[in-house]
Homo-oligomer: A and B are copies of this chain.
Amino acid sequence: MRAAGIVVEHNPFHNGHLHHIKETREITGCDVVIAVMSGNFLQRGEPALVNKWSRTEMALNGGADIVIELPYVFATAQASEFARGAITLLDSLKCESFCFGSEEGNTATFLETLHILDLHKGEYNAEIHRHMQDGVSYPNALNKAFHFIQQKTEKKLVDLSKPNNILGYHYMEAAVARNSSMKPLTIQRIIAGYHDDIEEGVNIASATGIRKALFDPDSTADIHDYVPDSTAKLLQGWEQEWGLFANWELFWPYLRYSILRLSKDELKTFAEVTEGMEHAIARAAKETTAFHDFMERIKSKRFTWTRIQRMLTHILTGFTWDDLHQLTTPSYIRLLGMNSTGQDYLNAIKSDVPLPVISKVGKTTDPMLLLDCQTTDIYMSLLTNGSHPQALQLDWKTPPIIL
């Protein structure tokens, strides 16, 4: 059996994701699509709308055969680490290829870009460093350095100001770095970009837009136009069970409390909190009562909104620089769900997989896995104000979802 890998957040699963899975199957001719999916906290540094099991069910309904978890350590990391974690896991599961959406749409351009940037590594890094000294954010500095190299070499390179191109670049970089035999493939993203709002009449809309439709009481957009029925049903079921969807405004009272409770010296021990951001964070938490306003007060030219949200995610979950430095290599494959095809595939490759495949957490002592469990406990406790018995210890109580 031949497997193709995809890297997903599915927050929530929508028609664009359906298209991605179908296309992956078509262009790779694979028997099995394996999705490595972020857990309850995402790369943009925010909680997922619904937890990882609900999103796993969406993915399986949408055509994925196996869903595994991208551990918290990678799911909430900068793009290069996010990509390295995901590619390592797909490679460990013997995928023949991996397939990602990009604005670019052509893997040859990615490979050329990797090659050129490698050739001009010294200059490229010096440019990045120079721009960061001027106080711009890391992605901006990267972008400026990249344009400098592009102009100098006069090559057609990938436009690295586009978010899906950046991720794609890092997937390919990670695959090259581990000398993976997986074949990289890319699908051009259609119609809606990553950050686009729902446009009425367009039925492939971005997840960000759908989230707006779910949270904005004035929105007349109907979610059924943008997501498969199975997703709509799962979102409805979630709302019936838990009453609401997770987001930063909902978790804000706990974030604020965490910050009030910590000294500045303690604040800067949390992953990604750097360059004096602890001062801005401590001050703003005292002064405001809503998450968006809090962000407006601490935003800086130096850091992207996403990077700052990641700092806050790590403060919220208690994830420190020490944790970040110690937990660097995926040590397990956490199975979140599968269908019978997926099950057959796993049985077939089982003996070749270099990492333990975890269906039951049990009495694990793996700190990376325990962190995933801990962040689920926190996510569910915050969602339910600590008062819902069904929300307790889900990682120990939830078997993989079998479709």
Return chain B residues, CB-CB under 8 Å to A384: 289
From B263, B286, B317, B381, A256 is in contact (CB under 8 Å) with: B381
Judge whether B261 and A386 touch: CB under 8 Å. no
Judge whether A289 and B256 touch: CB under 8 Å. no
Identify which of A262, A317, A381 gathers the most chain B CB atoms within 10 Å of its CB: A381
CB distance from A210 to the nearest CB of B (A): 26
Bound together, the chains give a CA A26 to CA B385 distance in angstroms of 50
Judge whether A286 and B377 touch: CB under 8 Å. yes
A80 within 8 A of B: no
Judge whether B258 and A261 touch: CB under 8 Å. yes
Interface size on A, residues (CB 8 A): 33
When each residue 360-393 of chain A gets 1 if its CB lies under 8 Å from chain B and 0 otherwise, what string results?
0000000000000010011001101111110111
A252 within 8 A of B: yes
Bound together, the chains give a CA A111 to CA B381 distance in angstroms of 52
Bound together, the chains give a CA A391 to CA B266 distance in angstroms of 24
Known: A253-B386, A387-B253, A388-B289. A318 touches B378 (CB 8 A): no
Copies of this chain, whole number? 2
Judge whether A318 and B262 touch: CB under 8 Å. yes
Would you list which residues of chain A between 253 and 269 have a CB under 8 Å from chain B? 253-254, 256-258, 260-263, 266
A290 within 8 A of B: yes
When each residue 117-143 of chain A gets 1 if its CB lies under 8 Å from chain B and 0 otherwise, what string results?
000000000000000000000000000
A218 within 8 A of B: no
Judge whether A378 and B257 touch: CB under 8 Å. yes
Would you list which residues of chain A between 329 and 343 have a CB under 8 Å from chain B? none
Which 10 A-B pairs rank lowest in CB-CB distance, beginning with the nearest?
Answer: A253-B386, A261-B318, A256-B386, A253-B385, A289-B387, A260-B377, A260-B378, A289-B389, A254-B257, A286-B393
Would you mind naming 9 contact pairs between A and B with Cβ atoms under 8 Å apart?
Answer: A253-B254, A254-B257, A256-B381, A260-B381, A261-B317, A263-B318, A266-B318, A286-B377, A290-B387
For the complex with contacts A257-B382, A261-B374, A286-B392, 14 further pairs of A-B residues with Cβ separation under 8 Å are: A252-B386, A253-B254, A257-B378, A257-B381, A260-B377, A260-B381, A261-B316, A261-B317, A262-B318, A286-B377, A286-B393, A287-B393, A289-B386, A290-B387
